[in-house]
Structure 1
Amino acid sequence: MPPFNDGPIISVRMHMDMSVKIGGQPEVIRRVTKIYARLLIAGFALSPAFLIAYLYLFQDPGLKFEDHLFHEIAIAAATLEGIFVTYVSWRCYLSSGEPLLRWLTLGFLGFTLIYALHGVFTGMAHHNIWLFLLYGPASRLAMAILLLIGLLSFNQEPDAPEQRINPRPWRIWIAAFLLTDIAVAFIAYSAIAGSPAVRLTMEGGALFFSAVNIILMLAGRIRSPLMTIFGISIVLFGLSSLAFILGKPWNHMWWLAHAIFAGGFFFLSYGIIQAFHTTRSFSSIYNQEEMVNRLAMAMVRTESALQELQHSNRMLEHLASTDPLTGASNRRHFIERVDAEIARSRRDNLSFSLLALDLDNFKAINDHYGHQVGDEVLQGFVQKCLEEIRPYDSVARMGGEEFMVLLPQATLEVAVAIGERIRSATENAVFDSIVMPKVILTVSIGVSQFGRDGNTIDTIFRAADERLYRAKDQGRNCVITT
């Protein structure tokens, strides 16, 4: 196997080393930049708090913007977006089965089904302000609770496929949201509707559950990219509830609260879309450092797999071209080598020769001593051939005790000399065997030369075979060229 290529690892290490050299104190810089990044995220998430404080301290109570049509259009747009994001979240959940995505889907669905009536009853603002007003905090409270449950399910085992497509739980939740709509309408027409505690309980509850959500995220050190988006959105939802508590219908604080909540809704929707276009999971998106490390490891594994595949291919090629007993080339591979040599000889006007070899009386060795001894003799004979031929010559077992040797760029005289070396080495060798310690062996050889004896593979093979038979007829243990 070729040496393992750790190029991808070296590339990653070089990148890290360069970072170390540029900074002078890389660990300090790394820590400072991480702290700075977290401060940026916190500052971005909390930036609406400055606007809330500004309006709370300097807002003119008499300034209001009451436009029912604008409000209805905004709520209609929010409802359509809520339906779309609910569907995308549900598709992600069906794909990954992640419990967090199930609760996110329910959070979007519950908010949409409840919040839509906030827009539908805009025209009721002058007749029953609570029928118009209470659906907003009710929708935010429901969403805050469901998002908190979703966070508690973070990194749990995926739901089973049959559980994901079971419609019954979804129908139950839709029924619960519709019952919430009816309950809010009942409260709006009840005697307690005008009590500040009703609206404060709903809006304060949404703020409370959002705060618990953030505390749990910080305590659990949940910092994956999409969960960071989740956390920022929760902060914005909480700040919007605070603005709603401080504001009054149609004043600037009230509109600011809508804008802050819309920002959180858009941001969380963006996270859902990112999940849909990547892993279909809300917790398995990696930050840049993790991506670099995973990419490097994937490249290393790929490189290792490729090298294993190349090694396996070479092994298969070797097995496909080699006689399994002797290690010599097999007939198919030898013919391919001869064809290639013929093409080269025609192109460069060169010649080459062939040796056809047959072990004398080999059948008697098998009959008297058994096939185990015969196999050991064949292996020993191939080793003798390899010792006597040139490094770029090749030996092939054509079948049984028949062999051939390809001698590139060898004239008939050179081929005869090599054939004599093989014959002499075989005659003088003693092939040791476990069963029969001393086996004497001789070989008959026929020689042909490309060009002199023919210009095709058939003609030179036939010439070598015919001369091999003559060597047998003339008493064996000899090299014949005519």
Structure 2
Amino acid sequence: MSIRVAANEPSSTIQLVTKGYAKLLLTGFALIPLYLIAYLYFFQDPSLKFENHAFHELAIAAATLEGGFVTYVCWRCYCLSGEPLLRWLTLGFLGFSLIYALHGVFTGMAHHNIWLFLLYGPASRLVMSILIFIGQLTYSHAADSATKRADRRVWATWIALFVLIDLSVAGIAYSPVAGAPWMRVSMEGGALLLSTVNVVALVQRRIRSPLMTIYGISVTSFALSSLAFILGVPWNHMWWLAHAIFAAGFFLLSFGVVQAFHTTRSFSKIYSQGELFARLREAMGRTERALQELQRTNEKLEHMAATDPLTGAANRRQFIDRVEAEIARAKHNGAPFSLLALDLDHFKIINDSYGHQAGDRVLQRFVTKCRDAIRPFDGVARVGGEEFMVLLPQAALDTARSIGERIRAAIAGTPFEADIGQPIEVTVSIGVSEFGRDGETIDAILRKADERLYHAKHQGRNRVVAA
């Protein structure tokens, strides 16, 4: 059994073209807000306005609640994984929510102090762009310690800083510089610049995991929303489009956070499709190698379970299985088969005189000589200490006697080298039985072969008895 990774891989050209096409589609999708900005800029009257304070307050309230919810989910992910990127994302969402909320609260001030109403939007986007850019630079860094994650003083310090920014924006709104053209543009331009640098850095670092792709598209939306805010004026269509673009990026990034929450609680541990396929191929390769090794091990175990470990001959269990198979075949087609029962003569004397190691080598060489003397499809098995059996398929009694005699002569004709400095003379006694003639059960033919082996022993050993 094996597992194969699909062959017939597409050509490198097709792969290159499809990858390029996918990147173009992704880039085109990320730049959709730019097409809308260009349309309004060139084809819409910038003086057309939709001023609705209640709608604006409702939209900002919804955005603030959304920001608070995403901040909490992001913080939970950070507490569980300790990923530094999630820490900075949490601070980015938190800072945006605390500052942007006042943009809605002071909607009613639009006719009294336009800057108190207007500056909180760019301030919140600038703070968020700074924090998430820092977060991207920490992508794949080592996880923060549990102590750092649980340090509430750090979070309290950041909240205090965001409140201080709120107060500072209020102070600027009532200062003479609030009406200077560069004030709002500098904040919005800073957010645009940082978000653009963020995207460029992401591309240069070749970070292509799914969640970071979502991150990149979201940051692109943040940059384009700042561009739209710079081009628009309060309440006109470009200004409302800027809000919609930023909201789209915010919702998309929050979707990434939720995806992280439901998977690994981390942005850096979600793999791209290419990485998943590479890991799958690697895992399948390991599985295939493991299966092959398991198959080899099973074959080895099966061989060990059916083989005498000393001589390599079949053991008694395998021999009985083969004899039963031959009985079934003989009953089906009438083909004869015979058995040889073999016993080395005076083997105890060999062990006592030369030692058990020499006796073991004699047994090993005995099996080798037996195999040389029998036919390729015959089988030899060790069924006792020095007792062996030979199965002879397609052999009647006369043929079996001849093979037995060949074995006897081969054993007696050449002294055994047992690595003891002198050869050992070995002989073997053999009893022969034939299925059908001497019985039609395994017990009957085994018993008959053993009886004739016993007769061979009593007739002087070193002989074959077949009747």
Q: What is the TM-score normalised by the length of structure 2?
A: 0.83
For residues 403-438 of structure 1, what are the alpha-carbon distances to aligned partners after superposition, in whole Å with 9 as ceiling and x for unaligned? 122233433333333222212211112212321432
Please state how far the C-alpha of 1:307 moved relative to its aligned partner. 1.9
Please state how far the C-alpha of 1:371 moved relative to its aligned partner. 1.9
Q: Which moved more, 1:427-436 or 1:37-46?
A: 37-46
For residues 167-186 of structure 1, what are the alpha-carbon distances to aligned partners after superposition, in whole Å with 9 as ceiling and x for unaligned? 225x6326623652464157
User: Secondary structure of 2:151's partner?
Assistant: helix
Counterpart selection for 2:352 from 367, 376, 392: 367
Alignment of 1:413-432 (within 5 A): 413-432=398-417
In structure 1, the partner of 2:247 is 262
Contact 2:218 2:249 in 1 (8 A): yes
Counterpart selection for 1:469 from 454, 462, 467: 454
Contact 2:81 2:266 in 1 (8 A): yes
Counterpart selection for 1:355 from 316, 340, 350: 340
Identical-pair percentage: 63
In structure 2, the partner of 1:320 is 305
How far apart in 2 are the matches of 1:78 and 1:471? 104
Please state how far the C-alpha of 1:454 moved relative to its aligned partner. 4.3
Instruction: State the one-letter code of the partner of 1:172.
Output: V
Instruction: State the one-letter code of the partner of 1:173.
Output: W
**Alignment size in residue pairs:** 464
Q: Which moved more, 1:185-194 or 1:133-142?
A: 185-194
For residues 337-368 of structure 1, what are the alpha-carbon distances to aligned partners after superposition, in whole Å with 9 as ceiling and x for unaligned? 33444444455555543322111001111111
Matched, 1:63 2:48: yes
How far apart in 2 are the matches of 1:77 and 1:354? 93
Q: Which moved more, 1:214-223 or 1:247-256?
A: 214-223
Query: Over aligned residue pairs, what C-alpha RMSD do you find?
Result: 3.7
Counterpart selection for 1:192 from 171, 175, 185: 175
Structure 2 unaligned blocks of 5 or more: none
Alignment of 1:51-450 (within 5 A): 51-56=36-41, 59-79=44-64, 81-82=66-67, 85-86=70-71, 89=74, 93=78, 97-116=82-101, 118-119=103-104, 133-156=118-141, 158-159=142-143, 162=146, 166-168=149-151, 172-173=154-155, 176-177=158-159, 180-181=162-163, 183-184=165-166, 187-188=169-170, 191-192=174-175, 195-196=178-179, 199-272=184-257, 281-283=266-268, 293-346=278-331, 350-450=335-435
User: Secondary structure of 2:31's partner?
Assistant: helix
C-alpha distance 466-32 of structure 1, shift in aligned 2 (>3 A): closer
Contact 1:393 1:407 in 2 (8 A): yes
C-alpha distance 424-7 of structure 1, shift in aligned 2 (>3 A): same
Instruction: State the one-letter code of the partner of 2:322.
Output: R
How far apart in 2 are the matches of 1:368 and 1:346? 47
Instruction: State the one-letter code of the partner of 1:264.
Output: G
Q: Which moved more, 1:465-474 or 1:425-434?
A: 465-474
Structure 1 unaligned blocks of 5 or more: 21-25
Instruction: State the one-letter code of the partner of 1:335.
Output: I
Contact 2:95 2:162 in 1 (8 A): no
Which contiguous aligned blocks of 4+ residues in structure 1 show a shift greater than 6 angstroms?
29-33
In structure 1, the partner of 2:9 is 15
Contact 1:240 1:257 in 2 (8 A): yes
Contact 1:82 1:112 in 2 (8 A): yes
Please state how far the C-alpha of 1:105 moved relative to its aligned partner. 3.9
Instruction: State the one-letter code of the partner of 1:15.
Output: E
For residues 358-385 of structure 1, what are the alpha-carbon distances to aligned partners after superposition, in whole Å with 9 as ceiling and x for unaligned? 1100111111112222111111100111
Q: Which moved more, 1:175-184 or 1:383-392?
A: 175-184
Contact 1:357 1:445 in 2 (8 A): yes
How far apart in 2 are the matches of 1:36 and 1:199? 39
C-alpha distance 168-95 of structure 1, shift in aligned 2 (>3 A): closer
User: Secondary structure of 2:340's partner?
Assistant: strand
Instruction: State the one-letter code of the partner of 2:389.
Output: M
Please state how far the C-alpha of 1:98 moved relative to its aligned partner. 3.9
User: Secondary structure of 1:407's partner?
Assistant: strand
Q: What is the TM-score normalised by the length of structure 1?
A: 0.81
Instruction: State the one-letter code of the partner of 1:332.
Output: R
